[in-house]
Amino acid sequence: MRGRCGITAALCLLGGCAMNEPSPQPHYVLGKPYQSGGVWWYPRDSYNFDETGLAAVYSGDHPDLTTDGELFSQSALAAGQPTLQLPSIARLTNLQNGRSVLVRINDRGTPTPGRMVQVTRRTADLLGMERDAATQVRLSVLPVPTEAAEERVGGMPMPRVAAAPQRDVVATMLAPPPGTRQETGRTVVASSLATAPAPDLTNQPLPETVTQGTPQPGRLWVRLGSFQSYEYAAIQRAKLIGLPVRIQSASESSGERFRVMAGPFDSVAQADTALYQAIREGVADARIVVE
């Protein structure tokens, strides 16, 4: 008996024990509302998602599989997000230096409600992000590649409707960091992201192509809500005593809206403090944005 155990142990050391290895089973995920970090999140399909906020970097402690059943890897161009459909393909831009890459959103959640997205270490390195600090970013879902990725893993509930075209993007290719596939330096005028031909982005790894755009750092705000009536916006403002809250009028496709915003804040710490105060006051969908 002891000899058999020794042989088994030796085989495990040499070839690995398959029984202990995770079995990836990629699949489409949306999911029911859930609570995390003291906040309720409501996942929904969003093929025209285009938001600013703060990004964090994954720590070393993560399960072997992502939420949609893929192998988690710190070397992949991948990210986690609280509400988007999984998997999604998106462009992630570091607003502080203008660099952007494509990421595969295959995981749920972020470390705190104040972070819009959480990225792998490789993604952070390519974007020039500090691993221990929050970074101003923009996350833009690419509809056509996202649908292709979802069709490949299966489980999509229904055919998708094409999103409205987005504006053209003008950018220059940046020389990637060491270890990244080199691209020739050239100026690229990208056609509308919604109507461009779909690249084959359904498998890991995504191409490590870093695009250099114009840096667009901004001020930090806490978005508290958007209302059709100024009266309701004023009621919400009155609840948040002690915060620098203002009401902004904005024209949207549905008509005039009144946005309740707190800020601007000079530091991430100040924005986080304001965000948590708003959450304690019952503004559960408060979010940090960059403007």
- 197 with 251, same domain: the answer is no
Is residue 20 domain-resident?
no
pLDDT range class, residue 157, cuts 50, 70, 90: low
For the segment 57-61, the average pLDDT, to the nearest whole number, is 91
Is residue 12 domain-resident?
no
Cis omega before residue 159 (within 30°)? Answer: no
d(CA 277, CA 222): 11
Give backbone dihedrals phi and psi of 94, rounded to 5 degrees, phi first: -80, 105
- 204 with 225, same domain: the answer is no
Q: Which of 190, 212, 234 corresponds to the end of one domain?
A: 212
pLDDT range class, residue 170, cuts 50, 70, 90: very low
- 179 with 270, same domain: the answer is no
For the segment 237-259, the average pLDDT, to the nearest whole number, is 91
Using CA atoms, how far residue 278 sits from 67, 73, 127, in Å, is 29, 35, 31
3-state secondary structure 207-221: CCCCEECCCCCCCEE
Two tokens, residue 32: 């029911």
3-class secondary structure, 2: helix
For the segment 41-66, the average pLDDT, to the nearest whole number, is 94
- 183 with 226, same domain: the answer is no
Spatial contact of 245 and 237, defined as CB atoms under 8 Å apart? yes
Is residue 4 domain-resident?
no
d(CA 16, CA 210): 36
d(CA 38, CA 134): 20
- Indicate if the pLDDT at residue 290 is higher than 80: yes
**CATH number of the domain that 224 lies in?**
3.30.70.1070
d(CA 278, CA 283): 5
Is residue 55 domain-resident?
yes
Using CA atoms, how far residue 5 sits from 2, 10, 19, 34, 98, in Å, is 5, 9, 16, 44, 57
- 275 with 145, same domain: the answer is no
* pLDDT number for residue 89: 97
> How many domains are contained in the chain?
2
- 146 with 76, same domain: the answer is yes
The DSSP code sequence of 93-122 is: EETTT-EEEEEEEEEE--SSTT-SEEE-HH
Spatial contact of 167 and 116, defined as CB atoms under 8 Å apart? no
* pLDDT number for residue 19: 56
pLDDT range class, residue 277, cuts 50, 70, 90: very high
Q: Which of 145, 178, 212 corresponds to the end of one domain?
A: 212
Q: Is the dihedral of CA 260, 263, 264, 265 positive or negative?
A: negative
% of the chain with per-residue pLDDT over 90: 65
- 195 with 66, same domain: the answer is yes
For the segment 255-281, the average pLDDT, to the nearest whole number, is 96
- 235 with 138, same domain: the answer is no
Is residue 25 domain-resident?
no
- 179 with 251, same domain: the answer is no
Q: How is residue 20 annotated by DSSP?
A: G
Is residue 1 domain-resident?
no
pLDDT range class, residue 156, cuts 50, 70, 90: low
Residue-number span of the structural domain to which 200 is assigned? 34-212
Is residue 202 domain-resident?
yes
* pLDDT number for residue 191: 36
* pLDDT number for residue 175: 54
**CATH number of the domain that 71 lies in?**
2.40.40.10
Q: Which of 182, 212, 242 corresponds to the end of one domain?
A: 212
* pLDDT number for residue 176: 55
pLDDT range class, residue 251, cuts 50, 70, 90: confident
> Exposed, middle or buried by CB within 10 Å (0-12, 13-18, 19+), for 104?
buried
- 138 with 202, same domain: the answer is yes
For the segment 6-27, the average pLDDT, to the nearest whole number, is 62
- 140 with 60, same domain: the answer is yes
d(CA 181, CA 183): 7
* pLDDT number for residue 216: 97
Is residue 8 domain-resident?
no
Q: Which of 78-92, 146-160, 183-197, 203-217 has the least mean pLDDT?
A: 183-197
- 153 with 235, same domain: the answer is no
Give backbone dihedrals phi and psi of 2, rounded to 5 degrees, phi first: -65, -35
